[in-house]
């Protein structure tokens, strides 16, 4: 494991997920590892674009036409505005500005705040986003009803300025958590870029495979993501919104309100980009 870190930049999670202990150096050298992912970010994305994607409030405003759920920034909202927002939505999500990887994201009933004046007051001036809880379309909600299940679509703009889709994954919770991030216990599977069909078993961050979802018992392989062509087109459109950010992982929700974009990630997590165990490092670097 230490040798893989030193020679290939693989984190312990990379080592487990990609089963490095089973393979030779040629195999290991084909992957976007943790250190290589960071290096690609600095090559493909300007500092200003990275700052834009890190600031959730600025990002929401910049990509407003793609965000279908209602939201407000608590730090810029008074008590009356927050109360009105809560009265308009039954379920809400509170996201800390400094949160990442599903940490600092909590889901509540709006009534929990409206019935508790102290809890309601705690939102005023908080450095958090209060947003309407998005709801998956039924076909995706069935996998893990407790979580918002999303598509991670990784795009890269090549040296000619043409956006390409590098990888896609379907992420879901474990049936208990309300987040779908695999770092916090979720499960992900790889989506074929042409057909939208799931082509791998589910995988967690420890490298454990699941033929069926442990909660819903739905089989992963063979399921086709609804509206896949539309999701692909949306990802390619998003990639050109800020061309200075050439390597981005987009979190797209197939919601009851239509295609909803949660956020863009710089860099996109290598654990999802390489979910199909088919190393993409040299392919991405050739686009530089």
d(CA 5, CA 9) in angstroms, rounded, equals 4
pLDDT for the residue numbered 99 = 58
pLDDT for the residue numbered 149 = 94
198-202: long-range pairs with CB below 8 Å, 24+: 198/170, 198/222, 198/223, 198/224, 198/225, 199/276, 200/275, 200/276, 200/277
pLDDT for the residue numbered 98 = 75
pLDDT tens digits, 30-55? 999 999 999 999 999 999 999 999 99
Residue 101's pLDDT band (cuts 50, 70, 90): low
Domains of the chain: 46-66+136-285 (3.30.470.20), 71-132 (3.30.1490)
Sheet of strand 128-132: strand arrangement: 71-73, 128-132, 91-100, 103-109
Q: What is the mean pLDDT of residues 184-209?
A: 90
Q: Are 242 and 52 in contact (CB under 8 A)?
A: yes
Which residues have CB under 8 Å from 195's CB, separation 6+? Answer: 224, 228
d(CA 150, CA 128) in angstroms, rounded, equals 21
* pTM confidence score: 0.92
Q: Are 69 and 259 in contact (CB under 8 A)?
A: no
Which residues have CB under 8 Å from 91's CB, separation 6+? Answer: 107, 108, 109, 110, 132, 133
Torsion angles phi and psi, residue 121, rounded to 5: -65, -30
Spell out a b/e string for 97-125, using b for 16 or more CB atoms within 10 Å of the CB, else e: beeeebeebeebebeebeeeeeebeebee
Q: What is the mean pLDDT of residues 134-141?
A: 94
pLDDT for the residue numbered 100 = 57
Q: Which residues pair with 190 in a beta bridge?
A: 169
DSSP characters over 235-269? HHHHHTTSTTB-EEEEEEEEETTEEEEEEEESSPP
Average pLDDT, the chain: 92
| Lowest model confidence (mean pLDDT) among 24-28, 60-64, 91-95, 99-103 | 99-103
């Amino acid at each position: 494991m230490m040798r893989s870190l030193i020679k290939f930049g693989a984190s312990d999670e990379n080592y487990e997920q990609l089963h490095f202990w089973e393979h030779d150096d040629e195999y290991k050298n084909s992957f976007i590892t943790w250190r290589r992912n960071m290096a690609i970010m600095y090559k493909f994305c300007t500092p200003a674009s990275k700052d834009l994607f890190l600031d959730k409030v600025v990002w929401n405003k910049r990509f407003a036409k793609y965000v279908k759920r209602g939201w407000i920034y608590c730090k810029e909202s008074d008590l009356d505005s927050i109360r009105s927002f809560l009265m308009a939505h039954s379920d809400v999500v509170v996201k800390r500005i400094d949160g990442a990887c599903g940490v600092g994201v909590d889901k509540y009933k709006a009534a929990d705040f409206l019935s508790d004046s102290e809890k309601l007051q705690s939102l005023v001036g908080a450095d958090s986003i209060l947003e309407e809880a998005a709801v998956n379309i039924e076909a995706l909600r069935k996998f893990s009803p407790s979580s918002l299940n999303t598509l991670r679509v990784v795009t890269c703009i090549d040296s000619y300025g043409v956006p390409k889709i590098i990888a896609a994954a379907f992420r879901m919770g474990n049936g208990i958590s309300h987040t779908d991030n695999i770092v916090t216990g979720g499960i992900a599977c790889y989506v074929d870029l042409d057909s939208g069909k799931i082509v791998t078993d589910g995988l967690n961050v420890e490298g454990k495979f699941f033929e069926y979802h442990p909660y819903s018992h739905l089989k992963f392989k063979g399921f086709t993501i609804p509206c896949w062509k539309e999701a692909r087109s949306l990802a390619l459109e998003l990639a050109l919104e800020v061309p200075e950010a050439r390597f981005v992982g987009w979190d797209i929700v197939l919601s009851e309100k239509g295609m909803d974009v949660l956020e863009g990630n710089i860099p996109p997590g290598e654990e999802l980009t390489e979910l199909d165990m088919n190393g993409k490092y040299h392919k991405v670097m050739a686009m530089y």
